Amino acid sequence: MQYIELFSDTQTRPTAAMRAAMAAAEVGDEQRMRDPTVNRLRERICTLLGKDDAVFLPSGTMCNEIALAVHCRPGDEVICDATAHVVHFEGGGPAALAGVMARSVHGERGVFGPEAVRGAFRGDNRYAPRSRVVVVEQTANMGGGTVWPLATIESVAAAARECGLVMHLDGARLMNAVVATGVAAARYCAPFDSVWIDFTKGLGAPVGAVLAGDAAFIREAWRIKQRWGGAMRQAGILAAAALHALDHHVERLADDHVNARRLAEGLAALPGIAIDPGSVETNIVIFDVAGTSMTAAAFVAALESCAVGMVATGPGTVRAVTHLDVSADDIEEALRRVGAALVQQARP
Ligand X SMILES: *Cc1c(COP(=O)(O)O)cnc(C)c1O
Strand ranges, E, within the chain: 4-5, 53-57, 76-81, 101-105, 130-137, 166-171, 194-198, 209-213, 284-288, 308-309, 311-312, 317-321
Using alpha carbons, select from 292, 268, 269, 283 the residue that is nearest to residue 325. 283
Give CA angle at 278 (256, 341), nearest 5°. 70
Residue 200 touches ligand X, criterion: CB under 6 A: yes
Using alpha carbons, select from 87, 129, 133, 94 the residue that is nearest to residue 110. 87
Instruction: Report the residue closest to ligand X, judged by CB.
Output: 60
Q: Report, in Å, the least distance between residue 137 CB and ligand X.
A: 5
Stretch that binds ligand X, among 37-45, 111-119, 198-206, 211-219 (CB under 6 A): 198-206
**Binder of ligand X out of 137, 193, 256, 330 (CB under 6 A):** 137
Residue 83 touches ligand X, criterion: CB under 6 A: no
Stretch that binds ligand X, among 22-30, 54-62, 121-129, 267-275 (CB under 6 A): 54-62
Q: Report, in Å, the least distance between residue 212 CB and ligand X.
A: 15
The count of other CB atoms within 10 Å of the CB of residue 87 is 19
**Binder of ligand X out of 59, 181, 234, 279 (CB under 6 A):** 59
Alpha helices by DSSP H, 55-106:
60-71, 85-88, 93
Q: Report, in Å, the least distance between residue 340 CB and ligand X.
A: 30
Q: At what angle do helices 236-248 and 16-23 cross, to 10 degrees?
A: 140
Q: How many residues does the chain have?
A: 348
Nearer to ligand X, 68 or 172 (CB): 172
Residue 81 touches ligand X, criterion: CB under 6 A: no
Residue 60 touches ligand X, criterion: CB under 6 A: yes
Sites of contact with ligand X (CB under 6 A): 59-61, 64, 85, 137, 141, 170, 172, 198, 200-201, 209
